[in-house]
Amino acid sequence: PGLMMALERGGRCDGVIYRLPDGDKPAQIERLLRREIDDHESIASVRWVPVRTAQGPLKALGFWVGVTGRGTSLGQPLETVAHVLARACGHVGSGAEYLYNTVSHLEAFGIHDRNLWRLQELVADEIRSIHGPGIESAAPFEPSALVIT
């Protein structure tokens, strides 16, 4: 099993909101829900959340698990999280890929999260420890943090 990223209640988060493309919105939302909700979760985990944008306040579809939800693992050391992400793989990709795609896409939008990049560095180190010297790392905090040779 892998891990997913989540936010705890309170504070604020800078992030990216995706707008569904023009077309059949109900079918797009159905595909999104099928991807994000597995057999063990319920539709009750889907919430409309208030967001502030440059265009003003909006509501965005979010997925809520709660602190007692199945599979929650709050407060784990980054090394433990890196160990899991370096090994986890599911039907939509690996845990390492999920993390890398998140940090690199946030960076492309001008959002640099030092904690996520530190976790990315630890995952890359963990992958190198598993697979040996054929894996090289670029300088820390670079979008090309992991290169397979």
pLDDT for res 148: 36
Q: Do the Cβ atoms of 69 and 44 come closer than 8 Å?
A: no
Q: Count of CB atoms within 10 A of residue 33's CB?
A: 14
Beta-carbon count within 10 A of 27 CB = 9
pLDDT digits (tens, 9 = 90+) for 123-137: 999 999 988 766 555
| E strand or H helix that includes residue 125 | helix 114-131
pLDDT the model gives residue 49: 84
Domain ranges of the chain: 78-138
Which is higher by pLDDT, 141 or 23? 23
- The yes-or-no verdict on residue 33 having pLDDT over 70 is yes
pLDDT score, position 46: 82
Helix (H, G, I), strand (E, B) or coil at 46: strand
Q: 36-82, pLDDT tens digit by residue?
A: 776 555 667 788 888 889 889 998 888 776 666 555 667 789 999 99
Mean pLDDT, the chain, integer: 79
Q: Using alpha carbons only, what angle is made at residue 42 by residues 92 and 63, rounded to the nearest 5 degrees? A: 60
Cβ within 8 Å of residue 113, ≥6 positions away: 103, 106
Between these two residues, 26 and 12, which has the higher pLDDT value? 26
pLDDT tens for 82-121 read 999 999 988 778 999 999 999 999 999 898 888 899 999 9
